[in-house]
Structure 1
């Protein structure tokens, strides 16, 4: 089974087919632009209004030359960035179980486009299904280092 084609999720015929791909890249999401409106909304809802995020004038003379997205904003977009990468047949529901590891190797300047590259790290039996760890590497268009690398843990319930 190959990685997803642009705009078409990679479809696994069931949990066993999904589990067989442990260690493999399972797909790449669509590009998503980070605009100042989204950064400002995130700052407002979280109360994190640090100038590097919300003051374009001051940020222009800062270390990145522009405002940057909050690291946690980038992390919170994983459900959006991961949408459409893959689907597993025979799963009644998928539950967010948490995170194992998160890193923010590079800042995301306003106006950047980001996307997720997903790799299945593990898929182990759990009490009510399969606990899958998917590493999302959040790429920034035109950059060599990712914005975020996060291992998400999901419970797939058949």
Structure 2
């Protein structure tokens, strides 16, 4: 059995593996939708304080993009595993991201641990503005991955 990501092998990834996604851009419309969907617009009905740059992308907005951006990077390599969010060990918003910045995502597998018929997978998720020296965000993110069909078959039992 293979240990390649999403191959359906004995584990969902390989420690040390780095997956690099395509650069992406957060638009003004993305920011407005995020603020509406997370109630930020209701929490700050008068708008942000004057010192807050109007084109700044919220750190939690970037963090919310970790899962979909990883899925885009995996593409058809998702294979026979599916996952749940298990939690975060550490998140740092290192550099500002502004609307229109091109962001390069990388995901490094740091640890894999068996758990209840599946695996906990720790990935260091790094978003860096293209051309910048320092990352914009670094998040150590745990996912819990199970082979497809495991949950469905246990429900039928």
What TM bracket, shorter-length normalisation? Answer: 0.7 to 0.9
TM-score when scaled to structure 2?
0.74
Which residue does the alignment assign to 1:95?
84
State how 1:3-152 maps to structure 2 within 5 Å. 12-16=6-10, 18-19=12-13, 21-25=14-18, 27-49=19-41, 62=51, 67-86=55-74, 87-91=77-81, 93-152=82-141
Q: Per-residue deviation at 1:135?
A: 1.1
> Contact between 1:81 and 1:115, CA under 8 Å: does it hold in 2?
no
State the alpha-carbon separation in 2 of the partners of residues 11 and 140 from structure 1: 26
Equivalenced residues, count: 139
Q: What is the RMSD of the two structures over their aligned residues, measured on CA atoms?
A: 2.7
CA spacing shift, 1:89–1:40, aligned 2, 3 Å:
closer
CA spacing shift, 1:90–1:36, aligned 2, 3 Å:
closer
For 1:77-121, what per-residue CA distance to the aligned partner results, in whole angstroms no more than 9, with x for missing partners?
112221232335342x22221212111001101111113101001
TM-score when scaled to structure 1?
0.73
Segments of 5+ residues of structure 2 without an aligned counterpart are: 148-157
CA spacing shift, 1:109–1:88, aligned 2, 3 Å:
closer
For 1:47-82, what per-residue CA distance to the aligned partner results, in whole angstroms no more than 9, with x for missing partners?
33599xx77xx97xx576x52000000000112221
CA spacing shift, 1:90–1:12, aligned 2, 3 Å:
closer
